[in-house]
Amino acid sequence: MADFRVEKLKEMLESSRYTVAICGSGMMAESGYLGIKTPEKAYEIEEKYKASPEEIFTSAYYNTRTRQFYEFYRKEMLVDLEPAASSSALAAIERAGKIQCIITGNIYELSQRGGCVNVINLHGSIYQNQCPHCKKMYPIEYIKNSKTTVPLCEDCGHVIRPLVSLFGEMMDSQKMTRTTEEIEKADMLLLLGTNLDSEVFANYIRYFSGRYLAVIHKESSHSDEKADLVILDDPKNVLPNLGYQ
């Protein structure tokens, strides 16, 4: 990676009035998790549970086969991930006042745990769990260490629900609105570990009309030509080199 691309990226950040970063699956992969929909993982899940991840990780499965859902959820979703260097570097850029909002699709709070503050977790978080009946909140440890196979509310006995978006569910409208608003007012949009064709983010990216569009992703895409700057590398190899502390 040529240094001039890092210099160009820093110039953009320094001159941008309002910068929004979008963190995609590439950022999660840097922490060692490829996602349950990758071909190799999906095959492994289907062999193990006799159902595809698209079938298991749904509200229908949660409602009708709750024990099996939680068996899958604990073993496959409640994985121990640590933020990569890209997350702490992103936090340093935010502290320097050069990034105003971080939007992420992962459910592991990697950005927050890396030190970022103004974060939108589009798909929720494994660290937030709630009884849908009485609304009592529970930490992740309660789900992991529940004495019953299915974690039940201590107060009313209802099944606790992880506050994550399951496949096929409607997204949180407030988060969708806020994401759109942030991208609309952005002077610079920085895509990290994803591209303009992202299944998760494409419908939001189209609201961007600012000055600078930068992509840092190790895989090239035909949509890269629409960006003002493309760096084909992992964000963890780029962001720390910007020099923010």
Q: What is the CATH number of the domain that holds 178?
A: 3.40.50.1220
The per-residue pLDDT for 179 is 97
- Residues in a beta bridge with 103: 22, 120
The answer to whether position 8 is within a domain reads yes
Domain count, the chain: 1
The answer to whether position 50 is within a domain reads no
The answer to whether position 55 is within a domain reads no
The answer to whether position 61 is within a domain reads no
Q: Are 77 and 166 in contact (CB under 8 A)?
A: no
Can you give the residue range of the structural domain that contains 14?
1-32+84-123+171-245
The answer to whether position 117 is within a domain reads yes
**Cα 169–137–201 angle (5° rounding)?**
35
Residue 224 CA to residue 214 CA, distance in Å, equals 9
The answer to whether position 91 is within a domain reads yes
Across the 245 residues of the chain, what is the mean pLDDT of every consecutive 10-residue run? 84 98 94 87 93 95 96 94 95 98 96 97 97 97 92 96 93 94 98 94 96 95 94 95 91
The per-residue pLDDT for 42 is 92
Pairing mode of beta strands 124-130, 161-164: antiparallel
C-alpha to C-alpha distances, 212 to 105, 190, 202, 229, 244, nearest whole angstrom: 22, 8, 17, 8, 20
The answer to whether position 67 is within a domain reads no
Residue 172 CA to residue 60 CA, distance in Å, equals 18
CB contact set of 100 (below 8 Å; sequence gap of 6+):
18, 19, 20, 94, 118, 182
The answer to whether position 230 is within a domain reads yes
The per-residue pLDDT for 1 is 46
